[in-house]
Amino acid sequence: MEQQRSIVIIGGGIIGCTTAYYLSRHPSYSSSTTSITLLEASARGTAQGASGKAGGLVAKWAYPRELVDISYPEHVKLAEEHNGTERWGWRFVSCGSWEGHGEDLGDSGSGVGKGGQKKSLEKTLGLEDVSTTREETGLPDDLLWVKEELTTSYSPMSGPDGSAQVHPYLFTTSMLELAKEKGVLAVAGSATSIEREGRRVTGVSYRDSENQTKTIPATHVILSAGAWSPSLLPSLPISATRAHSVTIRPNSSTTIAPYVLFTEIRLPSNASTMHSRIVTPEIYARPDGEVYACGPGDDSRLPKNVDDVVVDLAACESVRDHVASISQELRDGEVEKRQACFLPVVSVGGGPIIGEAEKIAKGLYIATGHTCWGICNAPGTAKAMAELLFEGKIRSGNLKKLSPSRFL
C-alpha cells in the first residue's frame, strides 16, 4: 500500500507557494495519498513580504550557480505552460549597469540641471573627455528613459536571453492558485511550533485568525518562512534586512523600453559639505508600463508579523528622488506604491539553505535564506524539494553545498 503523506508548508512567500506547486505536479503526488497544507501568517493572504515587493529579475547569471541552472529553465517552462506572459508579466528583458550623474531636483528639470553638469565635471576630472558621445557611453539606442547627457557608461549584464522578469506578486499568487487546483489547501494562520516526537516531526501548531491554537498533523514539514524562519527554528543562521521600494507610473503618453538597470548615480554636491554622494537604486521597467525601483537595505528590527512591517516614507522618497535625478519620465510619473519588506539573509554567508534537517528531526525540511535571488531561484528550490520529499533525493542537480547540515 502507498504511504500516506501529510505535508505542511510554513510560509506563503514565493518559496512556499512555488514548493506547493511543484509538490502538486510531482508524478508521485496524488491527493488521495498525500495532503498538502500551506500556512500563511498574514491576514492579507500570500506574497505580502519580500515575494510580493521584489523587483522580479530572473537571471541566468544569478547565484548560486547550481540552483540557477535548475531555476532558469524552469521559469521558461512555467511561463510557456501557464501563459506567464499574460498571467505574471513574464518577458525577456535587457539588463545592464548604468553609471552617471544625477541632476539636482531643485531645478525645474528640463534639460541638464546645474547640479548634473557640475558633477559631470567633477567625476570626469582627468579621466575622460567631457564630450562623450552616446556611442562611447554604450547607452543602447532604445534606452531613452534615462538622460544621455548624464550617462558616463552603460554595460550589458547578459546576452538577449540571459535575463528575464516576472511580476513577483502575480507569479507567487499564481503558483498557489495552480497548486490549489490540484488539491493543495491554504490556511490562514501563524505557525507557533513544529511538533516532534522523538526524532520525527509530527505536526505544526499555529494560531488561526481567531487566535485559537490548532495543530495540523504532519509527516513532512517544510520551513519556508523567509526572514521569520528562525522564530520556529532558532538555530537557523538567518538574519533579516529591510529594503524600501516604490512603483512609479509614467504618464500614458510615455513608453518605457524594457530594461532593468543597476545604477550608480553620483548626486550633486551638498553645498554645506561639498561632497557628492553615490546612490545605487535598481530600476525595473515592467510590461504593464509600471516602473519599480528599490533602494539600499537597513537593519530595522523584524516585526512579529509581515503585516506590521513599517514603511519609512522618507526612505521611499529618497528612492524616488534618486531615480528621478536621471530620468525625466520617472520624474514626471506618479508614485503609486511606497513599500518595505524584509529579505532573508544567511548570516554566515552562502546559502540558500535547502534540504532535510534530519539532525534536528526526520521529516523537517528547510527552504530559506534566498537573499536577493529568491524570485529567480524559487522554481529550482521547489523542484528540488519535491524530488527530495517524493524520491528521497534531489535529482535535478547537486545542491550538497546548500544542505542544512552545513549550516546547522
Ligand X SMILES: *[C@@H]1O[C@H](CO)[C@@H](O)[C@H](O)[C@H]1NC(C)=O
Ligand Y SMILES: Cc1cc2nc3c(=O)[nH]c(=O)nc-3n(C[C@H](O)[C@H](O)[C@H](O)COP(=O)(O)OP(=O)(O)OC[C@H]3O[C@@H](n4cnc5c(N)ncnc54)[C@H](O)[C@@H]3O)c2cc1C
Which partner, ligand X, ligand Y, none, binds residue 226 by CB below 5 to 8 Å per kind? Answer: ligand Y
* Residue in 20, 68, 170, 225 binding ligand Y, rule: CB under 6 A: 225
* Residue in 19, 42, 137, 219 binding ligand Y, rule: CB under 6 A: 42
E-assigned strand segments in 209-302: 213-217, 220-223, 238-249, 259-267, 277-279, 282-285, 291-298
Sheet holding 163-165, edge to edge: 57-59, 163-165, 91-92
Task: State the residue number with the nearest CB to ligand X.
Answer: 270
* Residue in 3, 108, 273, 398 binding ligand X, rule: CB under 6 A: 273
**Using an 8 Å Cβ cutoff, are 373 and 63 in contact?**
yes
CA 307/CA 304 separation, integer angstroms: 9
* Residue in 3, 32, 133, 272 binding ligand X, rule: CB under 6 A: 272
CB of 167 to ligand Y, least distance (A): 11
> Nearer to ligand Y by C-beta: 173 or 276?
173
Verify binding: residue 251, ligand X, rule CB under 6 A.
yes
Verify binding: residue 86, ligand X, rule CB under 6 A.
yes
CB of 115 to ligand X, least distance (A): 10
CB of 79 to ligand X, least distance (A): 10
Return the H-helix or E-strand segment holding 189: strand 185-197
Q: For residue 60, what are the contacts with CB-CB under 8 A and spacing of at least 6?
A: 68, 72, 158, 161, 162, 163
* Residue in 54, 176, 323, 346 binding ligand Y, rule: CB under 6 A: 54
Convert residues 358-387 into a mask of x (bound to ligand Y by CB under 6 A) and - (unbound): ----------x-xxxxxxx-----------
Q: Which three cell numbers stand for residue 163?
A: 535575463
**Using an 8 Å Cβ cutoff, are 238 and 344 in contact?**
yes
Q: Which of 22, 23, 18 is nearest to 6 (CA)?
A: 23
CA 267/CA 311 separation, integer angstroms: 24
Residues that bind ligand Y (CB under 6 A): 10-16, 39-42, 48-51, 54-57, 190-191, 224-228, 231-232, 243, 245, 294, 306, 341, 343-344, 368, 370-376
